[in-house]
């Protein structure tokens, strides 16, 4: 028996592993372009959040129909990929259905479960394609999704449909060959879903069936390996990053805006309040707020790479709903794109962050960040606990504290709040004068 198929498989597996390892190192370095931040408190709550939100998809079920379809794909992805272990071992050892003799009838049950999930994934992917391209759900047709993002989403759905059909084709032709007494193909009993398409292949010769079965087998396993590599370039990276991203979620109340430690320490010094660590020298302040990716924390960059581009944040954003340019989804996509640009520049020996560009200005405009109401609707809506507001606030702080570029109307409001304790320019003692006018109107 030729060992060429085994050698070819090992080479393909090794190549996929090499490319994947290189890409993972690239992503890790890009995420760590952000500033250091420690968020390892409340371990029990973090485990609970990760299990409920990432594994249990708790926040997805605010929209039942897409959540159910997504759940089918998610469970199918987890369970069907258990079969990949057998594929890999068969490819290396030159065997076929290695686990079948050891599991007996349980193997048939497992294959039927895999086939059921394959059909569920196939149907769900078709439904998602219809939602995106026929029904044209509004959140999938925003400006930031034009071009590559739309192609990426559709490509993955089409590839998943083909991969699932490959499983059914492989099983159907496999069992026809088994029924004809081919010793290489063990009989598995009744496989419900693949039996439905067996009539398509019944009249074929043994040689043609072997070719189709082997083609489907190779297509599926090579497709899985290619998918694993492709995911690292795609929005579907959230399949893996959702877990660390939810672990490092901000567990503080959503209405609590984080103070800047540099400013807090400065104010404490002016008020004569001792710092928590008086022996430590004051940290050198490099920049107030954030202008580029390296001014954000690494958790902010992790958020960006974890973005599913589902658009739930944007569809809930009151600024976006009223026609403003702000799209929280675009904010996250821009952070990721800027990190990718800098990472590629560094790998090529280029200028990196010194390329004359920055996140603020070249990717995200002041008009976008100024439209934010800080309502946290985007944070609440995100199915994997991404926090676009944190990035928006850091960009706004840079504009206010480094560029003095806050809109004039805002400065007037801030001054009024400082002097009159309200956004309006009148004395606090006159605050309820309007009620007297209401009473006069009622008396008329």
Secondary structure in 3-state letters for 18-66: HHHHHHHHHHHHHHCCCECCCCCCCHHHHHHHHHHHHHCCHHHHHCHHH
Q: In the prediction, which pLDDT does 1 show?
A: 53
- CATH number of the structural domain 261-404: 1.10.1060
**pLDDT per residue over 136-152, tens digit each?**
999 999 999 999 999 99
**pLDDT per residue over 262-307, tens digit each?**
788 777 888 888 766 554 555 555 688 999 999 999 999 999 999 9
pTM for the model: 0.88
Nearest to 100 by CA among 5, 184, 9: 184
Phi, psi angle pair for 297, to nearest 5°: -85, 160
Residue 92, CA distances (Å) to 19, 83, 99, 215 in order: 19, 15, 14, 17
If pLDDT is split at 50, 70 and 90, which confidence band does 311 have? Answer: very high
Distance CA 396, CA 140 (A): 27
Distance CA 355, CA 350 (A): 8
Q: In the prediction, which pLDDT does 280 show?
A: 52
**pLDDT per residue over 169-212, tens digit each?**
999 999 999 999 888 899 998 899 999 999 999 989 999 999 99
Distance CA 57, CA 68 (A): 10
427 burial (CB, 10 Å; 0-12 / 13-18 / 19+) is: exposed
Distance CA 98, CA 92 (A): 11
Q: How many CB atoms lie within 10 A of CB 426?
A: 11
Parse the chain into domains and list their residue ranges: 4-31+63-234, 261-404, 407-444
Query: Given a cut of 80, is residue 443 above it in pLDDT?
Result: no
């Amino acid at each position: 028996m030729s060992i060429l198929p085994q050698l070819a498989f090992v080479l393909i597996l090794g190549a996929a592993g090499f490319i994947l390892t290189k890409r993972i190192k690239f992503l890790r370095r890009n995420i760590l372009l952000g500033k250091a931040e420690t968020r390892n408190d409340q371990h029990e709550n973090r485990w609970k959040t990760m299990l409920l939100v990432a594994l249990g998809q708790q926040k997805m079920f605010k929209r039942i129909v897409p959540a159910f379809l997504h759940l089918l794909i998610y469970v199918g992805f987890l369970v069907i990929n258990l079969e990949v272990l057998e594929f890999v071992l068969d490819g290396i050892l030159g065997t076929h259905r290695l686990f079948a003799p050891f599991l007996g009838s349980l193997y048939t049950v497992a294959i039927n479960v895999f086939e059921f999930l394959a059909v569920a994934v196939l149907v769900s992917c078709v439904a998602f394609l219809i939602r995106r391209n026929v029904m044209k759900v509004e959140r999938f047709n925003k400006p930031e999704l034009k071009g590559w993002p739309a192609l990426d989403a559709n490509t993955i759905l089409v590839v998943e449909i083909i991969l699932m059909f490959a499983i059914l084709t492989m099983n159907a032709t496999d069992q026809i060959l088994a029924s004809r007494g081919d010793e290489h193909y063990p009989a598995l009993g009744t496989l419900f879903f693949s039996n439905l398409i067996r009539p398509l292949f019944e009249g074929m010769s043994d040689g043609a069936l072997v070719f189709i079965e082997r083609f489907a087998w190779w297509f599926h396993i090579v497709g899985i390996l290619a998918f694993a590599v492709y995911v690292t370039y795609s929005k579907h990276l959230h399949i893996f990053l959702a877990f660390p991203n939810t672990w490092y979620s901000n567990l503080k109340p959503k209405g609590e805006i984080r103070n800047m430690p540099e400013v807090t320490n400065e104010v404490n010094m002016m008020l004569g309040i001792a710092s928590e660590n008086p022996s430590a020298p004051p940290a050198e302040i490099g920049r107030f707020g954030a202008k580029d990716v390296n001014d954000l924390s690494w958790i902010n960059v992790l958020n960006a790479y974890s973005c599913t581009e589902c658009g739930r944040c944007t569809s809930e954003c009151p600024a976006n709903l009223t026609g403003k340019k702000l799209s929280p989804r675009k904010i996250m996509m821009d952070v990721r794109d800027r990190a990718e640009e800098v990472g590629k520049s560094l790998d090529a020996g280029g200028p990196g962050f010194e390329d004359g560009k920055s996140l603020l200005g070249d990717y995200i405009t002041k008009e976008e960040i100024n439209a934010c109401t800080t309502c946290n609707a985007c944070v609440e809506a995100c199915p994997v606990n991404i926090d676009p507001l944190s990035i928006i606030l850091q960009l706004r702080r840079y504009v206010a504290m480094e560029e003095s570029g806050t809109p004039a109307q805002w400065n007037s409001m801030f001054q009024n709040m400082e002097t009159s304790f309200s956004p309006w320019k009148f004395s606090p003692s006159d605050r309820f004068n309007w009620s007297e006018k209401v009473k006069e109107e009622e008396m008329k």
